[in-house]
Amino acid sequence: MYDGDCGFCTRSARWAAAGLPAGAEAQPWQALDLEALGLTEHDVTTAAHWFDAAGERHSASKAVSHVLSASRGYRKVLGWLLRTPPISWLAVPGYRLVARYRYRLPGSTDACRVPPR
């Protein structure tokens, strides 16, 4: 689940989804029933989310690592690396940094800017 109004997020989600097996997909939060998923608008505007096959939700850097791990090929290796120390220790602040400044990254639009909370 990603921010469909953000060009950077959309491009990133499409890249990640290209490696997913049949039946798994990335969807913009704007097209989903957040209440049914137990999420708020604050939850989805501040982090990406991934629901695994068991229905467990993973957010932010953990969501990225899980979606990549569910993928094929080199994406699966990247997902494993993101969950392995010491890279996993850097993934959390790295995700926060990218999320905060996503409006400055390639493919971004004005909608990518989220006011700091």
Distance CA 115, CA 117 (A): 6
In angstroms, rounded to a whole number, what is the distance separating the alpha carbons of residues 90 and 61?
Answer: 10
pLDDT for res 39: 97
Taking the CA of residue 88 as centre, how many other CA atoms within 13 Å lie in the half-sphere pointing to its CB?
A: 10
Task: Tell me the three-class secondary structure of 103-116, residue by residue.
Answer: HHCCCCCHHHCCCC
- 15-49 pLDDT, tens digit each: 998 999 988 899 999 999 999 999 999 999 889 99
User: What pLDDT, on a 0 to 100 scale, did the predictor assign at position 35?
Assistant: 96
pLDDT in tens, 51-102: 998 999 999 999 999 999 999 999 999 999 999 999 999 999 999 999 888 8
Query: Residue 115 has what pLDDT?
Result: 62
